[in-house]
């Protein structure tokens, strides 16, 4: 497992834990059941969490796809809800690191082939 894959797995699990903690303990909702919103907001990253636990090689792809949603959500909340700005910025930062880490090995391979003179696929 490469360093980028380890960072991807750590960020995936951290995003999952962040959303559970956010909705259940840190800022529980007042209009709905906290467990229901915790489950709802954790659903996009749940397939990636299962893949992390299985040590599947496609974990990074699915985690990065979910992280794009979480990045948009974090930026939107950081801009519009000052009471949860810190949590939203943590969410956006974790998502950005996850997308970069998930893409790192592929970018490195692509640019290494260019330096070697091989055509990129």
| CA 12 – CA 33 distance, rounded (Å) | 24
98, pLDDT greater than 90: yes
The per-residue pLDDT for range 20-55, each reduced to its tens digit, is 999 999 999 989 999 999 999 999 999 999 999 999
The per-residue pLDDT for range 101-116, each reduced to its tens digit, is 999 998 898 888 777 7
- Enter the pTM of the model: 0.89
118, pLDDT greater than 70: no
Burial 65-84 (b: 16+ CB within 10 A, else e): ebbeebbebbbebbeeeeeb
């Amino acid at each position: 497992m490469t360093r980028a894959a380890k960072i991807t797995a750590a960020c995936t699990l951290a995003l999952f834990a962040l959303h559970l903690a956010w909705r259940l303990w840190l800022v529980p909702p007042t209009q709905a059941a906290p467990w229901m919103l915790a489950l709802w907001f954790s659903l996009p990253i749940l397939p990636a969490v299962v893949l992390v636990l299985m040590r599947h090689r496609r974990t990074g792809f699915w985690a990065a796809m979910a992280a794009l949603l979480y990045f948009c959500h974090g930026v939107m909340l950081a801009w519009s809800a000052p009471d949860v700005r810190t949590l939203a910025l943590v969410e956006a930062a974790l998502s950005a690191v996850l997308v970069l880490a998930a893409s790192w090995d592929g970018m490195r391979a692509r640019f290494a082939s260019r330096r070697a003179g091989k055509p990129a696929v």
